[in-house]
């Protein structure tokens, strides 16, 4: 009896987490445009890229910054950066982004 109750609780928790994840990834932009961590990134924007442990820090500025990376594509859970001579593309999942620093000068 006790195992059956624990199994029912586990199934209910798993279903709740699955519904919450589907709701989050199903409509990441919402009604008012982009939301979340990647909302400040726009294609064509110049960004700085710094490795920080096992993740990356992206730097965005309102003024021009010297960087060799531009935003090529922004997805719901990833960002694609391309180098200036367009030799390489880096696809970074949102789980590998530590922070996005927005410099206002």
Total number of domains in the chain = 1
Contacts for 71 with CB less than 8 Å, ≥ 6 apart: 41, 42, 43, 44, 45, 46, 47, 79, 80, 81
Q: 54 lies in which domain range?
A: 2-103
Residue 99 has pLDDT above 80, yes or no: yes
User: Which pLDDT tens digit goes with each residue over 42-82?
Assistant: 998 889 899 988 899 999 887 777 778 999 999 888 999 99
Secondary-structure breakdown of the chain: helix, strand, coil percentages, each rounded to the nearest 5: 30, 35, 35
pLDDT computed for residue 15 by the predictor:
61
Token pair of 46, please?
A: 């110049």
pTM across the whole model: 0.63
């Amino acid at each position: 009896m006790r195992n059956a109750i624990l199994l029912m609780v586990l199934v209910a928790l798993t279903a709740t987490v699955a519904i919450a994840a589907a709701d989050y990834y199903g409509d990441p932009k919402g009604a008012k445009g982009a939301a979340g961590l990647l909302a400040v990134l726009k294609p064509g924007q110049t960004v700085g890229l710094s490795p920080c442990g096992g993740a990356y820090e992206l730097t965005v500025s309102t003024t021009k910054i010297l960087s060799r990376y531009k935003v090529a594509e922004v997805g719901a859970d990833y960002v694609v950066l391309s180098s200036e001579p367009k030799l390489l593309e880096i696809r970074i999942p949102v789980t590998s982004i530590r922070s996005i620093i927005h410099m206002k000068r």
